[in-house]
């Protein structure tokens, strides 16, 4: 398994491929992802802050974040905190519910 610094770089690179369709910019450039923490065991915690409290793309972007990070082979778990969004607790619940079927 790669070390935590290498994994964090892989996470950052993967997230830079998530494009906000309204701006055409990647979410890392837009600073929608904050506080990326990657542990040596492959667990990732990060904060997603949509561009506005009522961002119409928040659910789609957050789902893309989840899929991109979970597609990295060495990632063992992902927890996303959502801030600055009217439905933050609902979106967080959807993003962080346990995976079914695949272990």
pLDDT in tens, 6-40: 999 999 999 999 999 999 999 999 999 999 999 99
CATH superfamily, domain at 4-96:
Fe-S cluster assembly (FSCA) (3.30.300.130)
Q: Do 69 and 78 form a contact (C-beta atoms < 8 A)?
A: yes
Residues 6+ apart with CB under 8 A from 98: none
Rg (CA), the chain: 13
Domain ranges of the chain: 4-96
pTM, entire model: 0.91
Structure tokens given for 41: 């065991």
pLDDT in tens, 45-94: 999 999 999 999 999 999 999 999 999 999 999 999 999 999 999 999 99
Q: Which pairs with CB-CB distance under 8 Å and at least 24 residues apart come from 83-88?
A: 83/34, 83/47, 83/48, 83/49, 84/49, 84/50, 84/52, 84/53, 85/49, 85/50, 85/53, 85/54, 85/55, 85/58, 86/53, 86/54, 87/58
């Amino acid at each position: 398994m790669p070390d935590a610094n290498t994994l964090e770089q892989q996470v950052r690179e993967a997230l830079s491929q998530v494009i906000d369709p309204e701006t055409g910019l990647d979410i890392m450039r837009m600073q929608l992802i904050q506080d990326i923490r990657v542990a040596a065991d492959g667990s990732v915690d990060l904060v997603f802050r949509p561009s506005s409290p009522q961002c119409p793309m928040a659910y789609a972007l957050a789902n893309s974040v989840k899929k991109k990070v979970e597609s990295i082979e060495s990632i063992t778990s992902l927890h996303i905190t959502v801030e600055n969004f009217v439905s933050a607790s609902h979106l967080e619940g959807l993003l962080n519910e346990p995976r079914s079927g695949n272990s």
